[in-house]
Every structure is written in C-alpha cells, then in structure tokens.
A and B are shown apart, each in its own frame.
Chain A
C-alpha cells in the first residue's frame, strides 16, 4: 500500500492534488517510527484512541480498512475504493477534468 501511495504523492507533488489519510491506529507513539520508516509524508487526521472505532470512521460508517474516497475539487465523491492503478487512473481523470474547466474559464475571461 505505502509504496503506491508514496509514488502517487511524489508524481503529483506539483499538481492540485492531496492524499489525506484518516489514520486509525490506537497508539500514535507506536505509529511514529513507521511514519519515518515508510516515508509517510502525507497528512492524516487521527481517528483517536478508539482506533477503528474512532469518531471519524464512525461518523462515516466505515467498517473496513482501507476504505478510499476520491473527491473532486468541489468535494464531491467521484470514486470509491479504487486501489493501485485504478486510484491513479481516477485521480488523473479528475485532474484532467479540472484543468479543462480552468482552461475553459480562462478562455471565457479572455473573450469578455
């Protein structure tokens, strides 16, 4: 899991993209060495000391790990539970969409 996410984050570091985790480890002190070892640089919310029963996963009704949501720039859920290559594909599609929208806007602004 980590190698793929690491490479996705590295590849898109200059793009309007963010990988946000909801970490469900119960003990942060035990997690910290792993963050370093696995070079987990992306930001995560902490789900609290109840771990997988923490408030964020409970509020989202998440019952299996990992669970993935891919959101567009307006926060709309566009894909769910896409992994590995499918995750890259989903993100690339949305980035292309976003750029097309921005280009169209720029065009319209010029036209006025």
Chain B
C-alpha cells in the first residue's frame, strides 16, 4: 500500500502524503470532497479500498479519541457513500468499531447518524447506547423515515404502530432529553408535528407571546384585524 501510494503520488506529480495518521485522514477528507462533482469515483474499487485501508490503519494508530473518531467517521462516510464491494462490506465493520468506543457520546453519535442515517445504523445505535439524547435522535430518524413513507403510501399496521410508539416515546420518556442544539426533544417533536398537521393553509395560526427586540412584551393576536406577514428571519 505504501509503495502504491508513493507510485501514485509520483505519477500524479504530487508531493507524497505525509505518512502519519492525521495527515492521511486530512488527505482523504480533501479527496472525498470531489465525490459530489465526480460520482464515478464512488465506484472506483482501487481508490475506495485505499481510502478505507488507510483510514482503518489511521484508527489503529490513533493517539487519542479525537484522532480515532476523525478516522472512523470519515471511513463511515466513505463506506456509506461509495458503491464498491469493499465499501458495502465495511459499513458494519466501521460502525461497530465506532459504537464500541463512542456509543454514549451524544455529539459523536449524532454525527454518526448524520453520515450514516440508514435503518441499520439506527438499530445498531439503539441497541448499544444508554444516552437518552442519542436514543431520541436515532428514534427520530426512524420516525422521519416512516413519516416520509406515509406521505406516499399507507403504512402497514406494524409500521403505524412503530411510528405511534416512537412519537409517544419522544414526547414522554425521552421528552426531556436534549438535542444537539440544547432543546428538549419533546418540544422539537411537538413542533415538527404541529408544522405538519396544523401549520397549513386554512388553519388558524397559533398564538405567539414574546418580547420584541427592545424587550417589550407583545402577542401575535394583538394584530387580529390586520393582514399579517409573519417572517422568520435572521441577519446572516
């Protein structure tokens, strides 16, 4: 592998990559940015194998959790996005290693669910994590998948039961677990359900009570009798 990378680098006229873990991870991270523009790379058996082998080795040689995580999460991303035989084989392998070490690390598990949000990952995460925020995030991904399906077809009885159970769980037992932004999961889920079911054309908008930018309290219903444009905005 070493020889091959050197030869490849020389052929490309590039400076050979530094042969230590973090530099390899950084090099591959840069390279994977091209996947969007050049989707054919996803099916390049030699290239994807080199990435995964190198990342696995970088994980072996990592000096701390930070290095281990950055190698693993990138490997997971590669394994998820690429379509080579090796990539498919490695999905579970990389995931298992990430879960062994980081199952209760909420932030990292949320990142894992972001790069690898499939049903298998969610089930694997749920099977090992004890962290309520991680559980809630995995359940919520499950719920979203079911709700997306529900828009297209009627759910089976089992699926409907599963969805109802998850929504109940997220607003009950897991309702006070915090999401990555510091909000209670119960509030997040209630808001999303409200947006789907009640914030639709023809329904009365719910009340907003708050303060303006000068700290003066006011309510949305103060403006009954007027046509109102309600604009969720930010200066960015």
Contacts and interface: CB of A to CB of B under 8 A. Distances in A.
A85 interface: no
Contacts, number: 168
Contacts of A31: 213, 235
Nearest to B192: A61
Contact of B191 (A22, A58, A71, A80): A58
Contact-residue size bin, chain B (C-beta under 8 Å from the other chain): 35 or more
B229 interface: yes
B183 A58 contact: yes
Q: Name the prevailing secondary structure of the B interface residues.
A: mixed
Given A16-B225, A61-B191, A75 B204 contact: yes
Interface in A66-84: 66-80
A20 B229 contact: yes
B210 interface: yes
Interface of B: 179, 181-183, 187-188, 190-196, 199-206, 208, 210-213, 218, 220-221, 223-236
Given A61-B194, A69-B229, 11 more contacts: A43-B212, A44-B213, A66-B234, A67-B231, A68-B231, A68-B232, A69-B205, A71-B205, A73-B225, A76-B203, A77-B200
